[in-house]
Structure 1
C-alpha cells in the first residue's frame, strides 16, 4: 500500500498459463497488502474472478504457430497498442508481464519508452539459455526485475547481462500433492509386477508427427523382447482422436487419457516414461518417474542446431530441463538421428525393473526437489509478490 492509497498494479498476460500464474500472484498481493491493491490489464478467467476485468478477450492473442500468428497479426498488433494505452492511462505503481514474450515484451518496450518511471517486472524468463541469448541484455533495458521459475536462470541472466533476476520458485513445487505418490499409489517393482509405462509424444501436432510412430515402434520392440507393461498415453484433448487412430495397431495398445487431473494421477502411479523434450520432463522428474527423453527438430532448427542447447557457462549441453537443473545428464536424451527404436528400446527397458540405471535416476530425481524448493517452505507466489512490492514505486 502506498501513502496515496492502494497499490495500483497493471498486469499483462497472453495465454492460459499466464492467467494461472497471474491469479496466484494476485492472491498473494491481496494477502500481503491486506487488500489495499487494485488491478487492471489483460486477464483470463482466473484473474477476472479476482476482480481484474480484462481490456479484451485473451483468445484474441493466445495463438501459437507461424501460420496462425500471421493470420491474426493485425489483431495482435492492435491489441499491443491498446494494452500500452491502457497502461499509460492507468499510471500504475508497477507493471507485471507474465510469459508470452512475443506479445508481452512488445507491450513492455513501449511502456518503458513512453513512461520510463513506471517499474516493469517480468514473470517467467524466455529460454535465453537455449535460443537467442542476446535477448537477455535487451530485456535489461526495459525490465526492472525478472522473476525466474527455474533455479539456474538468475546466473544465466547475470552472465548474459540480463535484468536483475530472482528465483521465486516453480509453481509445481508448491503443489507436491499433484505429483508425489501417496502411500500405495505407485506399486513397488517387485518380482513379477507389471510396471506402468507412460508414452508422451508431445502436445503439438508437429511433435506428434515426428515422434508418435517411432515411439510405437519402440513399444513394439519392448514387447517383442519379452517386456510386459501397462501402457498409458496422456494426450491433449484436441489430439486424442488422432492419437487413438494412429496407435490402434500398436503391439501394446495404450490407454489414452486426457485432462490434467488424469495426467497427474497417471504420473503418480507410473514407473517409467518415454517422453518428448519439454515442460513435461520437469513434471515427470518432480513426480519421481525415471524417463528416456527424445526429440526431433524440424528442418529449420536442424540447420541451427550448433547454436541450440548450450546454456552459458554449462559444462555440457542438454535439451532436458531436469538435467540442466541437476547439472548432470541423469536422464538419457536422444536427438534427431538418435531417435530410433534401436536406441530407445534398450534405454527404456533399463527402467522397467530394479536396475542400477533406474536406481541412479531415482536418486537424481529426489535431489531435484531440494534444488527447486525455496528456503523456509515459502510459496512461489508469495516470493514473487515480495519482489513485486519491493520493485513498485512509492508515491508521496
Structure 2
C-alpha cells in the first residue's frame, strides 16, 4: 500500500488535492492510503483530516501575525502526526506559511521521504529568496502558472513544472473558451460585473468605492446594468451596502449565477486576485483594485513584483490596469471602465491580449493527471537515494 500524506490549508487547495488523489488512485490501481490535513473535497476521497482547515483560511500579514500562536500549535500537532505516519511521500499544497513548516520538520526527521509542493510560493511577487531556501526540503514544485518554472530556475529554486491551472477544468469556462474573442460587441446599455472579493476584509475595504464607481458610470452610461456575484456567507453584508446605493446592481450567489454573469457582462470591476485570470480566460475586459490590510500595508516594501495582476504576468506586459490604495478612486475607475464598456482601442487591446493568455495557458491533459505523474516520478527518483 502506497501512503501519501497531504498538507492543505484552504478550500482552493482542498479541491486541487482531491483532484490529485483521484488521479493517483487511477495510476496506483486504488493501492493508495491518504492522510494528513485537508477539507471536505479530500475527505470525500478518503482523507481523515487532523482538524478543520477553516482555522488556516487567513489572508494578509496582519491576520497571520494575530493568529501566530494558534498556527504554531497546529504546526507542531501536524508535523508530529506526519512524522509518525511514515508516509512514502508528502504533498504540501499552497499555504506556505503553514505547510512549509511541516515540510522542513519532516525533512529533518525523515530525510529520505520525498516532498512535493503543489502551488509553490509566489516568489515572483515577493521575497524571491524563498525559492533557493526551498531546495533543501522541496524535491519538486508543481506550478499552475506557465511563467513560474522559469522564475524558479532563475532563482535557483527546486525543479518546477507547469501542469495547468485548475480553472481550465471549469465546465462553465469551456463554452467561453470555444467562442472566438472579440466577436460580440458591447451591449447598449452595457453590463458590468462587480467583484469586490471573496473574503470579508476585501469586501469591507473595496465595496463602498466600487459603489461610488457604479454611481458615476450611471451618469455617463445611463441604464448600465450591474451584477455582483458573491458567496452565500457574504450576501447579507453585500446587500446591506448595496441598499444604500442610488443605483443598485443585482446581487447573486451560486456558481452557475457567477459564470452566467461573466458570460453576459461587457466588462468587470474586480478585486485583484485569481478572479482576474478567470475573467481573462472568459475574455472579459477588466479594471482591478486592491487594498491591503493595515498591517500588510506596512510591509508593502517587501513586494518586488512589477505587477500584482495574473493576466499581466502571463502576458508579460501591463495588459490590465491596476489600482492600489490611494489610487482606488471612483472617478478614475469610472473613466477607465467607460473605455472598456464601449468599443474602444483600450477594450480591443485587452481582448487581443487575452488571446495570447489562452494560448500560453493551454494544456494537453488534465492538471491532476500531470501532477500525479510528477508525484510518483519524484517518489521513484527519491527512492534511488540511499537512506542516511
Q: So what's the TM-score if we normalise by structure 1?
A: 0.88
Q: Could you say which residue in structure 2 is the equivalent of 1:381? A: 368
Q: Is residue 204 of structure 2 the alignment partner of residue 209 of structure 1? A: yes
Classify 1:40/1:301 alpha carbon distance in 2 versus 1 (closer, same or farther; 3 Å).
closer
Deviation at 1:154, TM superposition (A): 0.9
Which secondary structure does the structure 1 equivalent of 2:38 belong to? coil
Unaligned segments of structure 1, at least 5 residues = 1-5, 311-316
Alignment of 1:358-369 (within 5 A): 358-369=347-358
Q: How far apart, CA to CA, are the structure 1 residues paired with 2:328 and 2:72?
A: 39
Deviation at 1:285, TM superposition (A): 1.0
Q: Could you say which residue in structure 2 is the equivalent of 1:279? A: 274
Unaligned segments of structure 2, at least 5 residues = none
Alignment of 1:321-340 (within 5 A): 321-340=310-329
1:95 equivalent among 86, 90, 99? 90
- CA deviation vs aligned residue, 1:103-141 (integer Å, no higher than 9, x gap): 211110100011111100011122222222222121112
Which secondary structure does the structure 2 equivalent of 1:392 belong to? helix
Q: How far apart, CA to CA, are the structure 1 residues paired with 2:217 and 2:55?
A: 45
8 Å contact kept, 1:138–1:162: yes
Deviation at 1:157, TM superposition (A): 1.3
Deviation at 1:187, TM superposition (A): 10
1:256 equivalent among 246, 251, 271? 251
Coordinate RMSD, CA, aligned: 2.6
2:189 equivalent among 185, 191, 194? 194
Which secondary structure does the structure 2 equivalent of 1:347 belong to? helix
Deviation at 1:290, TM superposition (A): 0.6
Alignment of 1:293-304 (within 5 A): 293-304=288-299
Classify 1:20/1:81 alpha carbon distance in 2 versus 1 (closer, same or farther; 3 Å).
same
- CA deviation vs aligned residue, 1:157-190 (integer Å, no higher than 9, x gap): 122221111111100112353364388xx99436
Report the count of equivalent residues: 381
Q: How far apart, CA to CA, are the structure 2 residues paired with 1:207 and 1:352?
A: 24
- CA deviation vs aligned residue, 1:360-394 (integer Å, no higher than 9, x gap): 211211221111122xx211101101110100144
Q: How far apart, CA to CA, are the structure 2 residues paired with 1:157 and 1:67?
A: 27
- CA deviation vs aligned residue, 1:282-316 (integer Å, no higher than 9, x gap): 11111111111122334544454454252xxxxxx
8 Å contact kept, 2:61–2:295: no
Q: How far apart, CA to CA, are the structure 2 residues paired with 1:189 and 1:229?
A: 15
8 Å contact kept, 1:12–1:96: yes
8 Å contact kept, 1:179–1:268: no
Which secondary structure does the structure 1 equivalent of 2:27 belong to? helix
8 Å contact kept, 1:148–1:167: yes
8 Å contact kept, 1:16–1:44: yes
- CA deviation vs aligned residue, 1:243-282 (integer Å, no higher than 9, x gap): 2122223232010112333212211221100111111111
8 Å contact kept, 1:10–1:92: yes
8 Å contact kept, 1:227–1:349: no
Q: How far apart, CA to CA, are the structure 2 residues paired with 1:303 and 1:19?
A: 31
Q: Could you say which residue in structure 2 is the equivalent of 1:313? A: none
- CA deviation vs aligned residue, 1:42-89 (integer Å, no higher than 9, x gap): 222221222222233334444556676567655533332232222222
8 Å contact kept, 1:189–1:195: no
Q: Could you say which residue in structure 2 is the equivalent of 1:318? A: 307
2:131 equivalent among 126, 136, 139? 136
Alignment of 1:163-182 (within 5 A): 163-175=158-170, 177-178=172-173, 180-181=175-176
Classify 1:187/1:260 alpha carbon distance in 2 versus 1 (closer, same or farther; 3 Å).
farther
Deviation at 1:27, TM superposition (A): 0.4
- CA deviation vs aligned residue, 1:8-30 (integer Å, no higher than 9, x gap): 21111122222111100000111
Q: Is residue 15 of structure 2 the alignment partner of residue 20 of structure 1? A: yes
Q: How far apart, CA to CA, are the structure 2 residues paired with 1:70 and 1:318?
A: 25
Q: How far apart, CA to CA, are the structure 1 residues paired with 2:188 and 2:278?
A: 25
